[in-house]
Amino acid sequence: METKNNKEIVSRDQTSRAEAGGQMVTKHSGIDPSKIFENMHVTLRPIDADGTDGVTAGHRTSGQGEPIRETPLVAAGLHQQNNQSAERPMIYPLMPKVPTYIQEKYNSEDYVPLVASFGPYYGAIHNNPANQRLMFVEKFKPKALEWFVRGTGSDENSWLEHVRGMVPDLRLSYPERDTYKYHNYDFALMMLQDACLAILIMGVTNQEYSDMELLYNHLGAATVVTVVRDSFLLQNQIPFVFIRALLHNKFGVFKGEARWRKHIVATCHGSRLRTDIPIFWAEEAGDPDHFVEALKITHLAGWKRENKILGVVQNMPTSEVSREDRTEEERSVLFKDYYAMHSVTELKGKGIYVEPNQTNSFKNITFKSGWLNGTLQLPVDYVNYSTRAAYSNIIAYEMSPGNHSQDYTMTAYVHLMKSLLQTPMDVEELQANGTIVNMLGSDLEVIDLYRDIYTFGTNCSSRYGEICQKMVEHYNNKTKTWFAEFMYTYFRSPWTVIALVGSVLVVILTFIQTYYAAKPK
């Protein structure tokens, strides 16, 4: 089928050029797919008359002996990347990779797709027996493309034709060694099909019935859930600007924006919020490079609670916090000694209580110390099947060379949760006050989830140093904690209260008995 489509496209390439300027025109009615890429800061290159996509004469061979052609941009390698405009610097590949030693040593399964590949890193599954488990979803991807083009007014060949014109730019989003093995046609088809699958998956988290029905009927519930998990792996990404352009064409700007934002927020904060989310994304936050960065921005941005209705914080903080923007006080906190943290139940015994914060932001973790009690405010954390892989890949992104902001908030947050959650009683306490929503089952699974996420030796003091310091000072303050210890020891349950009252009555009665026994008649 691919060969047939290729011939059809080449035939159209030879006959559909405009006489002026050699620009390509489409013969299809409806929406012109080329229009959706006008705001993507890339150039649509017309396909050469010989149908070669402007490839070089040089060839490489694949594992099956087929010639592999390269574009001039790809053949130029890093030289082309280093000469990008200031608008999009290419010091590092746009789609980062997890360092090899991390994949080999720390929960490697968290960085590898289980059922679905997105982009070229795991896309060459036909020549790799180790990736044959991805074939089931791979065979469904043409259905995803068919679903996408439905209602756009253009057919699959028209869409593929214009994506082929973008191939030189899309290749620059990945290292050359990961893209050279693809013909331009194969690369374009892969990127288009993968993006369509990613867009279709958004309908599942947003609970769009027609999308759910299509996916569940063809893939089954277990596979669909795993595809969602695979879509948030750092080394399994498609440029966000490409997906966003397709969304705008399929659904329109308003609904297209709502679809991806609801998808990200539902993944971070639970699908129950999907109907309460205004479609707002602060300009200062910018467009994420990929979905892993979108996850991080959403976790750090948070939501504002007003009259029990969730709305977006208008001045949304971004993950881009440069070293120059930090105050002297913040910089000094980064180098403070490590503060040993205690579990939730230990903190409660000293009068330190945990409650949800008002913004649900991972950056907005605060501690307030009162005369007798203290309050630690944490974001609400929705723990589910995808949480470990999602957090592990956000942390890998923070630790990658592409993290220019040097911001390690997610890494510090996970380490803080490791300290707070030591026993199932700690999880129960956070569930009781609404700080954790456990969708895994047992409380022990939540503890194991955080323990299994590697934080590279980073502790919570690197981001929450001042908070940790205040908590330790309150914890060790005898004047503030003696009353809390008394209340926790004797008033934590009705039985301890009864025991205390009984003990007091025994003492009083014993005193009265002794008094009257000793009093002379």
Query: What are the domain boundaries of the chain?
Result: 1-48+72-85+111-251, 328-479, 490-518
Looking up tokens 């932001």 gives 361
Q: What is the pLDDT of residue 194?
A: 94
Q: Is the dihedral of CA 73, 75, 81, 82 positive or negative?
A: negative
Given a cut of 90, is residue 427 above it in pLDDT? yes
Among 28-37, 164-173, 376-385, 406-415, the least confident range: 28-37
pLDDT tens for each residue of 44-55: 333 333 333 333
The larger pLDDT score, comparing residue 507 to residue 421, is at: 421
Q: What is the pLDDT of residue 188?
A: 92
Q: What does pTM read for this prediction?
A: 0.59
Q: What is the pLDDT of residue 144?
A: 92
What residues pair up with 376 in beta bridges, in sequence order? Answer: 354, 367
CA-nearest of 448, 372, 457, 441 to 417 is: 448
pLDDT tens for each residue of 115-173: 999 999 887 655 555 567 888 999 999 999 999 888 788 889 988 988 888 888 888 88
Measured between alpha carbons, how far is 445 from 219 in angstroms, rounded to an integer? 27
pLDDT tens for each residue of 321-353: 343 444 444 444 333 444 567 888 888 888 888
pLDDT tens for each residue of 411-420: 889 988 998 9
Given a cut of 60, is residue 400 above it in pLDDT? yes
Q: Is 112 helix (H, G, I), strand (E, B) or coil?
A: coil
288, with CB counted inside 10 A (0-12, 13-18, 19+), is buried
CA–centroid distance for 157 within its chain: 32
Phi-psi group of 438: left, alpha or beta (phi > 0 → left; psi -120 to 50 → alpha; rest → beta): beta
